[in-house]
Copies of this chain bind each other. A is one copy, B any other.
Amino acid sequence: MVYKIKFDQFFSYSFSMDCLIFGFSNGKIHILLVKRAMEPYGGYWAIPGDLVYPDEDLPHAAERILEELTELKNVVLRQGGVFGKPNRHPQGRVITNAYLAMVRMNETNPQPSSWVEELRWVPVDEVESLAFDHNEILTATYQRLKERFIHEPICFEMLPLKFTLNELQQLYEYAFGICIDKPNFRKRIKNLPLTELKERQENVKHRPATLYSFDWEKYKTLVKEGRFEFNMWL
């Protein structure tokens, strides 16, 4: 075997991990951003991310880095795309892997930590110029997220455990930029494994909506038995 370049020279890359944390609040899908307290891109807002350790598995790195920067634990992270333009990092060849997660904003209290100076939830369509190629990473990952919304019940990971059907509808309306007829929406979702709770909204100045929860156990059972396939708008 003959490499055009000596083999050892190839072990000169760095590999990083960016964690895109999405949440839903006030009818908008938000992304968690951090303000960098160091160079490069000091003072810039960025997606939380850092370098992977040499002997560390990727899922572990994603969890560790997220916790180090934001103190968030027990977040289910999934792999997204890879971004590896040779000049994307000013200090060398750093290839990065996006991991994404959905969280319930009302139960999530991220705190700036390590080299993070400040931390903010920003609606995805109001994000301005970010560090590195993070705008590109965000756009691609959010696009992927939306595609998953159609065939996987992952939106329930970002809705409160107890949510109203209007909130669910708003989430889909925001994600896909559409308006949905309310009565028809509710007919469609009555097939979903939702549990209607005995509780209602509180502290609202109109008729309180009934609260629902998503029954993950029932969902898994139905899917396993092949009796159900999640699908919102083909």
Listed in ascending order, the chain A residues whose CB lies under 8 Å from chain B are: 1-3, 5, 7, 9-15, 37-39, 51-58, 79, 81-82, 84-86, 91-93, 95, 97, 115, 229, 231, 234
In chain B, what residue has the closest Cβ to A51? B10
Main SS of the interface on chain A? loop
Are A93 and B55 closer than 8 Å at their CB atoms? yes
Chain B min CB distance to A226 (Å): 12
Q: List 13 A-B contacts (CB under 8 A).
A: A1-B38, A7-B91, A9-B54, A11-B92, A12-B54, A13-B13, A13-B54, A54-B93, A56-B86, A57-B85, A58-B85, A82-B82, A95-B95
How far, in angstroms, from A53 to B3 measured CA to CA in the complex? Answer: 11
Contacts of A231 in B (CB 8 A): 234
How far, in angstroms, from A9 to B55 measured CA to CA in the complex? Answer: 12
Are A84 and B55 closer than 8 Å at their CB atoms? no
In chain B, what residue has the closest Cβ to A115? B1
Partner of A234, one of B37, B81, B95, B234: B234
How far, in angstroms, from A49 to B56 measured CA to CA in the complex? Answer: 23
